[in-house]
């Protein structure tokens, strides 16, 4: 007797049709500095990431710099719920910042290099009011980092490079599962920026920067969930007919395996179409036990 089953569908997510884009400013940000481990710099107009080899314009090394940023998600989630309904998926997240090539304060190091952006699990840090020329002790400091960071929970969202010029930098973040889940909780999402190369001295505007058009922001794009599912599997004369509906602007693939966890083989690819449709796929010579899975990915050139 031939037996077939459909198991859970999964998504590869990116920009697709019927997208909604939301931007959000941080409600807290601060840099911390290894050379002043008990000092807070949460009230200044700049943030910074620096490695061990970077120096300022006078050739002086001012220590390592890291940055913390917090973004409120309640209005983001409610806005996307209103635009797309409550069943939506995040397809892209960018952290956009404006770099200062020559900061007007000698505390900041200079240099082009790599930096890492991480999603961190904790919200347990305070921005504080310290400034580069007037640090305080009322908020997060370098010596607080061991209690804030958690190597078992925090997730890297990518490695990026600054420009060393006065420019806006767009950093497309990895859509890590825990990061996206945190967004959907509609609370606070926290990012941590740290040096990934010794020579980087990267300074950029904070949320307190005077020109609101040059403040950092997080941009999110989401689409309504296409709800992929296999509608039916019919066995006839040692063949399996797998049927499913399609939603416009999404690519569909049918994968097959003789048993979970695989390996899975791609059996059929249906390229994105401008309208909704229906597909029936026939696989001949079905084995005694056969499993099918439906994979969807958005079109890179959606037809709206």
For position 300, what pLDDT does the model report? Answer: 55
Q: Is the pLDDT of residue 8 over 80?
A: no
CB 155 within 8 A of CB 118: yes
Report d(CA 224, CA 217) in Å as an integer.
23
Bridge partner residues of 97 (DSSP): 169
Mean pLDDT value across residues 2-24: 52
Task: Give the residue extent of every domain in the chain.
Answer: 3-16+226-298, 19-224
The structural architecture, per CATH, of the domain 3-16+226-298 is Sandwich (2.60)
List, for residues 250-271, the tens digit of each pLDDT value. Answer: 889 999 998 877 799 999 999 9
Q: Is the pLDDT of residue 178 over 60?
A: yes
CA angle 199, 201, 203 (to 5 degrees): 165
For position 225, what pLDDT does the model report? Answer: 83
pTM: 0.79
Closest CA to 171 of 242, 30, 69: 69
List, for residues 64-117, the tens digit of each pLDDT value. Answer: 999 999 999 999 998 888 888 888 988 889 999 999 999 999 999 999 999 999
Q: Is the pLDDT of residue 122 over 80?
A: yes
pLDDT category at 4 given cuts 50, 70, 90 is: low
Report d(CA 123, CA 202) in Å as an integer.
24
- Kindly state the tokens that stand for 43: 């009230």
**137 Cβ neighbours under 8 A, 6+ residues apart:** 38, 39, 40, 128, 130
For position 296, what pLDDT does the model report? Answer: 85
273 vs 163, more confident: 163
List, for residues 200-252, the tens digit of each pLDDT value. Answer: 999 999 999 999 899 999 999 998 888 888 999 998 878 899 999 998 878 89
Among 1-5, 152-156, 237-241, the range scoring the smallest mean pLDDT is: 1-5
List, for residues 278-287, the tens digit of each pLDDT value. Answer: 999 999 977 7
For position 276, what pLDDT does the model report? Answer: 87
DSSP 41: B
CB 160 within 8 A of CB 55: no
Q: Is the pLDDT of residue 36 over 90?
A: yes
């Amino acid at each position: 007797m031939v037996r077939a089953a459909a198991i859970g569908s999964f998504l590869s997510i990116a920009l697709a049709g019927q997208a909604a884009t939301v931007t959000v400013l941080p409600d807290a940000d601060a840099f911390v500095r290894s050379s002043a481990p008990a000092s807070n710099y949460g009230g200044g107009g700049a943030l910074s990431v620096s490695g061990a080899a970077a120096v300022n314009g006078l050739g002086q090394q001012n220590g390592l710099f890291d940055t913390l940023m917090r973004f409120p998600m309640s209005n983001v989630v409610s806005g996307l719920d209103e635009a797309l309904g409550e069943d939506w998926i995040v397809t892209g997240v960018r952290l956009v910042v404006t770099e200062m090539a020559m900061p007007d304060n000698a505390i900041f190091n200079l240099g082009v290099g790599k930096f890492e952006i991480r999603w961190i699990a904790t919200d347990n840090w305070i921005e504080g009011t310290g400034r580069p020329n007037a640090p305080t002790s009322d908020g997060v400091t370098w010596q607080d980092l061991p209690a804030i960071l958690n190597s078992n929970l925090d997730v890297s969202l990518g490695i990026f490079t600054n420009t060393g010029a006065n420019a806006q930098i767009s950093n497309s973040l990895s859509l890590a599962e825990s990061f996206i889940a945190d967004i959907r909780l509609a609370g606070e999402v926290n990012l941590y920026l740290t040096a990934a190369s010794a020579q980087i001295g990267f300074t950029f505007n904070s949320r307190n920067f005077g020109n609101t058009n040059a403040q950092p922001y997080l941009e999110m794009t989401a689409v309504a969930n296409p709800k992929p599912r296999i509608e039916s599997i019919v066995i006839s004369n040692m063949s399996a007919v797998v049927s499913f509906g399609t939603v416009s602007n999404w690519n569909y693939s049918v994968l097959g395996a003789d048993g979970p966890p695989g390996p899975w083989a791609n059996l059929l690819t249906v390229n994105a179409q401008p309208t909704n449709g229906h597909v029936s796929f026939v696989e001949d010579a079905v084995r005694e036990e056969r499993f099918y899975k439906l994979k969807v990915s958005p079109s890179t050139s959606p037809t709206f």
